[in-house]
Amino acid sequence: MVHLINPFNGSPLVKDGDRYLDQAGSSFPIIRGVPRFVTESNYTDSFGFQWNKFQKTQIDKESPDQLGYSKERFFTVTGWDKEDLSGKDMLEAGSGAGRFSQIVLDFTKANLYSIDYSDAVSANFRNNGHHGDRFNLFQASIYDMPFPDKSFDKVFCLGVLQHTPDFKKSVKALIDKAKPGAEIVVDFYPIKGWWTKIHAKYIFRPITKRWSHEKLLRRIEKNAGWMMKLYKFNQKIGLGRVFNRFIPIVDITGTLPPNLSKKELKEWVILDTFDMFSPEHDHPQRISTVKKWFEEAGAKVTFADFIIFGNNYSSAIVKGIKQ
Ligand SMILES: C[S@@+](CC[C@H](N)C(=O)[O-])C[C@H]1O[C@@H](n2cnc3c(N)ncnc32)[C@H](O)[C@@H]1O
């Protein structure tokens, strides 16, 4: 069991009705089932909007057509064994709507502590809150987590680090929370070469991230149909690899589950295209740089490379053991 602390002064917290209190009188409210350690509005508001709108879209158990895509990603990327996780205290940073929280809670007997800086935690709580004491969910930043250092047996952070303002500091924050000997696993958007940022996302996002969330979503919904057709046409004539990176739409064949129904595919495309164009931060990194940051933060790197799974999803992964 992990004891909660006030992330801003380190003092222990006790639950008192619908809030957590420390001895000095600091108080953190529990709102919609989730203790909150944040100011109301922050740079992750687009994610709060996104995950509350698309609460169930990427949750495996909500769609048999996903064929366990999140489960496959979680166990392939981490390499963890379900049985080994029994009774372990696990930290998940940046849980979004809880696609990986669901996998840990439904397929292992670990105790899960998940944080997200946005109100996505409300969606995650609606998806996974029924797991009771095994699931401890908090709205908190990776930089101000309500746990003492050296608390966790396993730490994972999937699809998050590129969206934080200081990637290196985020890596250190994760490693600080791991017990000596504990494993930390992250995946992230990689820099593959000089061409990485020659892409519709990096060309248009400086503008689109300033639009209201509603306006951006409306525009994506209106244009998704023809963009999907153009994407598929380019692929059919063999020009997908060259031209599709300039269509302002998610990489359909490279990142989405292969067997979605037509309706689900469109929903995933709209969600993931919003996810491309709305975030305040999007800072891809080289795998070798992240490896170096693991070592500087006190972890021995055991893996730093791409892993391919699903259709053709290539995930950049670094794993390490806290020394
Ligand atoms: C692309 S989503 C991924 C969510 C989830 N891991 C998944 O794969 O579905 C990135 C998440 O990182 C969260 N995030 C960004 N900065 C954060 C920070 N400083 N602390 C905690 N979470 C953060 C966002 O709120 C968002 O929910």
Question: Which residue is listed with tokens 């021995």?
Answer: 300
Residue type, 181: G
20 and 144 assigned to the same domain = yes
Residue nearest to atom 14 of ligand 1 (CA): 94
Give me the number of domains the chain comprises. Answer: 2
The answer, yes or no, to whether any atom of ligand 1 lies below 6 A from the CB of 279, is: no
Q: Is residue 9 part of a domain?
A: no
157 and 296 assigned to the same domain = yes
136 and 247 assigned to the same domain = no
Report pLDDT digits (tens) over 203-233: 999 999 999 999 999 999 999 999 999 999 9
Distances (CA, A) of 173 to 23, 165, 322: 25, 13, 12
Which pLDDT value is given to residue 253?
Answer: 86
Residue 311 clears pLDDT 80, i.e. is over it:
no
Atom of ligand 1 lying closest to residue 170 CA: 19
User: What is the DSSP-derived secondary structure letter of residue 5?
Assistant: B
User: Range of 251's domain?
Assistant: 200-277
Cβ contacts of 21 within 8 Å, gap of 6 or more: 13, 14, 27, 28
Residue 278 clears pLDDT 90, i.e. is over it:
yes
Cα–Cα distance for residue pair 319/183, rounded to 1 Å? 7
Cβ contacts of 292 within 8 Å, gap of 6 or more: none
Which pLDDT value is given to residue 67?
Answer: 79
40 and 174 assigned to the same domain = yes
Residue 312 clears pLDDT 80, i.e. is over it:
no
- pTM for this model (two decimals): 0.97
Q: What pLDDT band is residue 292 in, cutting at 50, 70 and 90?
A: very high
Per the prediction, the chain carries an average pLDDT of 95
Q: At what angle do helices 45-53 and 213-236 cross, to 10 degrees?
A: 70
9-21: average pLDDT: 97
Residue 207 Cα, ligand 1 centroid: separation in angstroms? 21
Q: What backbone torsions phi and psi does residue 170 show, to the nearest 5 degrees?
A: -65, -40
- Ligand 1 pocket mutation pick from 163, 166, 186, 276 by most atoms within 8 angstroms of CB: 163
Which of 242, 259, 277 finishes a domain? 277
Report pLDDT digits (tens) over 104-130: 999 999 999 999 999 999 999 999 999
The answer, yes or no, to whether any atom of ligand 1 lies below 6 A from the CB of 164, is: yes
The residues pairing with 67 across neighbouring beta strands, listed in sequence order, are none
226 and 180 assigned to the same domain = no
Q: Is residue 4 part of a domain?
A: no
Q: Is residue 298 part of a domain?
A: yes
Q: Is residue 7 part of a domain?
A: no
Report pLDDT digits (tens) over 241-258: 889 999 999 999 888 888
Residue 66 clears pLDDT 80, i.e. is over it:
no
Q: Is the dihedral of CA 299, 304, 308, 314 positive or negative?
A: positive
* Helix and strand totals (H; E) in the chain: 11, 11
